[in-house]
């Protein structure tokens, strides 16, 4: 399992992505909705690591608006190796600068972050499914395209580690 620093989306965008999760489930694709006892919320992760100490993260980000009211415009669907399906927001200069600033603050505080979440390598995304069966990928992508675009505003943030039952809100 992994821990993450997640940014949460406004009510309308959250509802639309949850409806997409349900549509994927109806196609036979396990979505984040059904993982870990329904604890996932639609989100964009700024940092991921095998473990994150919520106190260390909070201290490193003191004075930083982690949940800055960024506007996100989800315009496309993507796939990572391993059949991970996601929606991608347009990588605006504001979004990339925000993630780079968060990463810099975590680095200064010696909080380790997965290399895939380093600036220049980070791909902003909202995960929909961790393992789409190959035979269902076309149908899953079609479902994604039916809901795009999704406009969102960041309204919250938290350090989460579902395996350790940690969810610490950040401002």
Asked whether the predicted pLDDT for residue 130 surpasses 60, the reply is: yes
pLDDT of residue 134: 92
Q: Count of CB atoms within 10 A of residue 121's CB?
A: 9
pLDDT reading at 1 higher than 60: no
pLDDT greater than 60 at residue 104 = yes
Q: Which residues of 94-120 are buried (b: 16+ CB within 10 A; e: fewer)?
A: ebeebbebbbebbeeeebebbeebeee
Closest CA to 13 of 41, 50, 33, 36: 41
Residue with tokens 């809100």, as numbered in its chain: 169
DSSP character string of 88-102:
EE---HHHHHHHHHH
80, containing H or E segment: strand 71-80
What is the biggest distance separating any 2 CA atoms in the chain, rounded to whole angstroms? 47
pLDDT of residue 38: 63
Structural tokens at position 111: 């909080």
CA angle 16, 18, 19 (to 5 degrees): 65
**pLDDT tens digits for 49-75?**
999 999 999 999 999 999 999 999 999
Tokens of 19: 């409806």
pLDDT, tens digit (0-9, with 9 covering 90-100), for 131-155: 999 999 999 999 999 999 999 999 9
Q: What is the pLDDT of residues 16-51, one digit of tens each?
A: 999 999 999 999 999 998 875 667 899 999 999 999
Phi, psi of 163 (to 5 degrees): -65, -30
CA distance to 116, 159, 162, per residue, from 6 (Å) = 15, 6, 12
């Amino acid at each position: 399992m992994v821990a993450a620093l997640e940014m949460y989306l406004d009510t309308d965008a959250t509802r639309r992505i949850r409806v997409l999760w349900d549509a994927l489930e109806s196609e036979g694709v396990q979505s984040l909705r059904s993982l870990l006892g329904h604890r996932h919320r639609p989100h964009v992760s700024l940092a991921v690591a095998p473990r994150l100490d919520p106190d260390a993260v909070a201290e490193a980000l003191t004075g930083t608006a982690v949940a800055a009211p960024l506007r996100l415009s989800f315009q496309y669907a993507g796939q990572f190796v391993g059949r991970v399906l996601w929606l991608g927001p347009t990588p605006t200069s504001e979004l990339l600068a925000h993630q780079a600033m968060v990463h810099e603050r975590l680095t200064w505080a010696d909080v380790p972050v997965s290399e895939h979440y380093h600036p220049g390598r980070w791909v902003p995304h909202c995960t929909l499914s961790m393992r789409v069966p190959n035979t269902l990928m076309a149908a899953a992508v079609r479902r994604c395209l039916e809901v795009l675009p999704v406009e969102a505003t960041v309204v919250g943030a938290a350090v989460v580690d579902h395996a350790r039952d940690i969810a610490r809100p950040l401002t």
